[in-house]
Amino acid sequence: MAPTKACAIVLRQRDNATELLVFRHPLAGIQIVKGKIERGESSQAAALRELWEEAGIRATRVTADLGTWASPYEAQVWALHVCEVTGELPDTWTHRTADDGGLDFEFFWHPLPNAPTAEWHPVFAAAWRLLVARSPGPTAPASPAASSR
């Protein structure tokens, strides 16, 4: 089945650990940048566009495709793309979206080996498990005890 959503996976290495860019949606928990693939648009182009619209990140390119995932939410099929950012991103920032009702998304880095907290939207917590399995680099999940420290 063709993907209907594009997910932009931005990773960085910090202190010998892989971190994943996520954001706190004020109404729907912690999420990863994802959005609709427009008619005639490639999933790679959609991932880069969504990074701009949801996070304000423009200088990017897709460096790896992690395949697709049949999300349990509304029968969506996500195309997962690792995106590289030119330059260094801050540890945290807030971006006001133009197309999501002007909501403020609070961006931060989540250590990829650490399991999602209860604050994560359930669909994105499920996607995290897939990302850990498919992502390049040292991303073995930490034990639950280590994750809660």
Residue type, 139: T
**Domain span at 123:** 5-147
* pLDDT for the residue 72: 86
Q: What is the 3-state secondary structure (H, E, C) of 110-130?
A: EECCCCCCCCECHHHHHHHHH
Check residue 100 and give its pLDDT.
Answer: 66
Return the pLDDT at 148.
36
Residue 44, pLDDT score: 97
The answer to whether the pTM exceeds 0.85 is yes
What per-residue confidence (pLDDT) applies to 137? 59
Whether the predicted pLDDT of 147 surpasses 90: no
Q: Report the CATH number at residue 142.
A: 3.90.79.10
d(CA 100, CA 77): 21
Please give the C-alpha separations between residue 21 and each of 11, 15, 58, 145, in angstroms, as whole numbers.
6, 16, 15, 23
In this prediction, residue 141 has a pLDDT band, given cuts at 50, 70 and 90, of very low
Mean confidence (pLDDT) of the chain: 89
Q: Within a 10 A sphere around the Cβ of 33, how many other Cβ atoms?
A: 23
In the chain, the number of structural domains is: 1
pLDDT greater than 90 at residue 106: yes
Give pLDDT, residue 125: 95
Instruction: Fill in the amino acid letter for 20.
Output: L
* pLDDT, tens digit, 9 for 90 and up, residues 89-102: 999 999 999 876 78
**pLDDT tens-digit readout, 6-59:** 999 999 999 888 999 999 999 999 999 999 999 999 999 999 999 999 999 988
Q: Are 112 and 16 in contact (CB under 8 A)?
A: no
